[in-house]
């Protein structure tokens, strides 16, 4: 099982949450400071941003099959996102998780602050 931090369409109540069906919700969390969210066309992209904010989201414990489906959804093979370890502030007992970091240019995109709502 792996911990995955989600901050967009995979969150509970959002359009792609079905990809987490059968997985275990761990709790709500924030990344440590150093990230930014952008609207990349109906969904958010989180990037590393020195001096940036803490991004809010959820942590899920997922199995390897689910992780493979998430990698496909997030376009890791196409270079849209990369799954990498990010530091967390909560839930209690969890200090890091895997998250999908956006790899394309954010020039001209709308900054979303520290959270995204569908």
User: Which amino acids are annotated catalytic?
Assistant: 74
- Taking phi over 0 as left and psi of -120 to 50 as alpha, with beta for the rest, 56 belongs to beta
Q: Can you list the positions of beta strands (E) in the chain?
A: 2-6, 24-31, 35-39, 44-48, 56-62, 81-89, 96-102, 110-113
37, 102 in Cβ contact below 8 A?
no
């Amino acid at each position: 099982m792996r911990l995955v931090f989600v901050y967009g369409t995979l969150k509970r109540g959002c359009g792609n949450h079905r990809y987490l069906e059968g997985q275990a919700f761990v709790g709500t969390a924030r990344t440590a400071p150093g990230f930014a969210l952008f609207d990349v066309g109906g969904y958010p992209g989180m990037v590393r941003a020195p001096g940036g904010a803490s991004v809010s989201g959820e942590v899920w414990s997922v199995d390897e099959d689910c992780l493979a489906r998430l990698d496909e959804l997030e376009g890791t093979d196409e270079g849209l996102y990369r799954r990498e370890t990010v530091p967390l502030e909560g839930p209690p007992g969890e200090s890091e998780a895997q998250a999908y970091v956006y790899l394309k240019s954010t020039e001209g995109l709308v900054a979303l602050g520290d959270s995204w709502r569908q």
